[in-house]
Amino acid sequence: EPEVTQTPSHQVTQMGQEVILRCVPISNHLYFYWYRQILGQKVEFLVSFYNNEISEKSEIFDDQFSVERPDGSNFTLKIRSTKLEDSAMYFCASSGQLNYEQYFGPGTRLTVT
Amino acid sequence: AQSVAQPEDQVNVAEGNPLTVKCTYSVSGNPYLFWYVQYPNRGLQFLLKYITGDNLVKGSYGFEAEFNKSQTSFHLKKPSALVSDSALYFCAVRPYYNQGGKLIFGQGTELSVKP
């Protein structure tokens, strides 16, 4: 069964450093998403991406964040200068159509020290 | 503001008994509704969805959910719980008019099924 994969599973970085979180969505999916979950809090939407551009972004997704689909398989989230409050589990998701269910990856736990 | 509420942080059920995990939402219009399950160290797994049509929808692993428009609820149910159903359950909503696909999640309910 196809699945969304994410690397790394755990990333530790120092405040102010850049990080890139990587995702490989399900191969025939067209819509891509990033969510995050701070420990003990709700899963929060960050951004959606379709046809090589951002469809929607949340207030959290400021200028420090960017997304890219550099090739036909990867989907990345970059945080330019990490802050302590960026520590969270980051989930990538993809869906075949806009109204279809989203399939989530296992997440990357980002720890900013 | 749009929101999803799961009023119970934890639900405890004996194996073989029916289970209900509650979800209510505050979203204008007719939203699309989803349930996801999360096992330890795993991502969110899709269980079922309501888009339109019959208010009772059936999903994976014997789960079902009932959409109640007047009560703005979408409770998850299963007639006979298994120990293996123990996990974290999330309700999610997408406003029908939202073109970005954003899901709004509840805070999650920990389901514990005891033998």
Residue-range domain boundaries for chain A: 5-97
Spell out the domains of chain B, with CATH numbers in brackets: 3-114 (2.60.40.10)
Residue A70 CB-density burial (10 A; 0-12 exposed, 13-18 middle, 19+ buried): exposed
Residues of A in contact with B35 (CB under 8 A): none
Rounded distance, CA B67 to CA B31, Å?
11
Which of the pair, A41 or A79, is modelled with greater confidence? A79
Whole-number pLDDT of residue B96 = 74
Query: Minimal Cα distance from B51: which residue of A?
Result: A99
CATH number of the A5-97 domain: 2.60.40.10
Among chain B residues, CA nearest to A50: B100
pLDDT in tens, A42-98: 999 999 999 999 999 999 999 999 999 988 789 999 999 999 999 999 999 999 877
Residues A11-21 have a mean pLDDT of: 97
Residue B21 sits at φ, ψ, to 5 deg, of -120, 120
pLDDT at A18: 98
Q: Kindly report which listed range (A71-75, B27-31, B87-91) carries the lowest average pLDDT score.
A: B27-31
CA A82 to chain B, closest CA, distance in angstroms equals 23
Residue B88 confidence (pLDDT) above 90: yes
**B77/A contact by beta carbon, under 8 A:** no
Q: What is the pLDDT of residues B56-72, one digit of tens each?
A: 999 999 999 999 999 99
B53 pLDDT above the threshold of 80: yes
Interatomic CA distance for residues B66 and B35, integer angstroms: 11
* pLDDT over threshold 80, residue B98: no
Alpha-carbon gap, residue A3 to A31, rounded angstroms: 14
Q: Which two tokens stand for residue A45?
A: 């939407």
Instruction: Give the confidence band of B1 by pLDDT, cuts at 50, 70, 90.
Output: confident
Say if the Cβ atoms of A48 and B102 lie within 8 Å.
yes
Select from A4, A41, A56 the Cβ nearest to the Cβ of B100.
Answer: A56
pLDDT score at B97: 72
Residue in B46, B49, B101 closest to A31 by CB: B101
Task: Compute the C-alpha angle B42/A57/A91, nearest 5°.
Answer: 10
Cα distances from A48 to residues A45, A58, B35, B52, B100, in angstroms, run 8, 9, 20, 23, 6
B2 has a chain A CB within 8 A of its CB: no
Residue B26 to residue A113: CA distance in whole angstroms: 37
Q: A44 to chain B: which residues are within 8 Å by CB?
A: 105
In this prediction, residue B100 carries a pLDDT of 78
CA B87 to CA B37: how far, in whole Å?
7
The CA-atom distances, in angstroms, between A38 and each of A11, A87, B36, B96, B103 are 15, 7, 18, 27, 16
Q: Looking at chain A, which residue has its C-alpha nearest residue B105?
A: A43
Report the mean per-residue pLDDT for chain B. Answer: 93
Q: What is the pLDDT of residue B28?
A: 80
